[in-house]
Chains A and B, each alone.
Chain A
Amino acid sequence: MDIKVPALAEGVEEAVITLWLTGEGQTVQEGDDIVEMSTDKATFNMPSPAGGILSRIIVSEGETVRVGQVIAELETL
């Protein structure tokens, strides 16, 4: 399953990946925080959309991402 950047607000198209809270190969439950993103004045912890193993991190910390962009892959259980 692709992990995509969610809509954060109307008019907000970009965010920065500031902290991966889950590493590659780690198991997560649905709803577990997996990555922290930041806009100018807000940080946002993105929950996992499903349970599984975070099989691949595509975007590194410090990189800017757009809404809808795939940032990781989740191998669902």
Chain B
Amino acid sequence: MSRAECRCTRYDFIDLGLLDYSAFCGYQRDILSRRISGNIQDTVLLAEHHPVITSGRMTSKTAVKSTSKEISGISLVPVDRGGGMTYHGPGQLMVYPVISLDPFGRDILRYLSFLEEFLLDFFSQAGCEVHKIHGKRGAWVNKRKIASLGIGIRRWVAYHGMGLNINPDLAPFGAFEVCNDRDTVMTSLKDEGISMDMGRARSLAQISFMRVSEKYSV
């Protein structure tokens, strides 16, 4: 695991590099515990994962057989976040804010809207105009989904977060019902004709996150 830290005034950004999802979960648990106890400030984890499919708490029963431990040769991991089933792999930038919801008035919808504003800002800065779709969370290019989100909350500290498709292999998304919507078609910056390396994506994510948090006055 490579690990690089950027200490800003409001947030610590920690780049975990490319790592297994299970290793990430252990790391996130530790950060969450330390944030809840007040030992660290709000922290944003950046990562890519080796191929894995995760199923959130609200995964529909039709998404996949409940006994499955893998789909098309990719491990399936149940996770303690909202949302349904999705795929993570290299080329997808994961952004996991482990932050207090107190500045958001402990309002979950306000926090989710903040995350979506971040997605819009990020992709706009990348040169790709994305939008929200009423009733569906995430970021979209026309009817194609380019980023997903799902969070958990403990003691009013949020964890888990967002997956931004920069240039991942999109084929695994076709093996299951993405985010409980069988009609969802995934896309990426690469598929939209925009080339961006992951280092640039990481930098841009930090800049966008800071900018949108200032806009939200959090």
Contacts and interface: CB of A to CB of B under 8 A. Distances in A.
A28 to B, nearest CB: 14
Give the residue among B112, B137, B153 with the most A Cβ atoms within 10 A. B153
Contacts of A11: 109
Contacts of A36: 57, 80
A10 B137 contact: no
Contacts of B137: 40-41
B107 A42 contact: no
Interface residues of A, number: 20
Interface in B145-203: 149-155
B154 A33 contact: yes
B97 interface: no
A10 B57 contact: no
A47 to B, nearest CB: 7
Interface in B47-77: 56-58
B83 A45 contact: no
A31 to B, nearest CB: 8
B17 interface: no
Interface in B70-107: 80-83, 107
A62 to B, nearest CB: 10
A38 B109 contact: no
Nearest to A42: B82
Nearest to B107: A9
Contacts of B149: 41
20 contacts: A8-B108, A10-B107, A10-B109, A11-B109, A12-B109, A16-B58, A19-B57, A33-B154, A38-B58, A39-B58, A40-B58, A40-B83, A41-B83, A42-B112, A43-B56, A43-B57, A43-B80, A43-B152, A45-B153, A45-B154
Which 5 residue pairs are nearest across A and B when measured between Cβ atoms? Answer: A9-B109, A42-B82, A9-B108, A41-B82, A38-B57
Interface of B: 56-58, 80-83, 107-110, 112, 137, 149-155
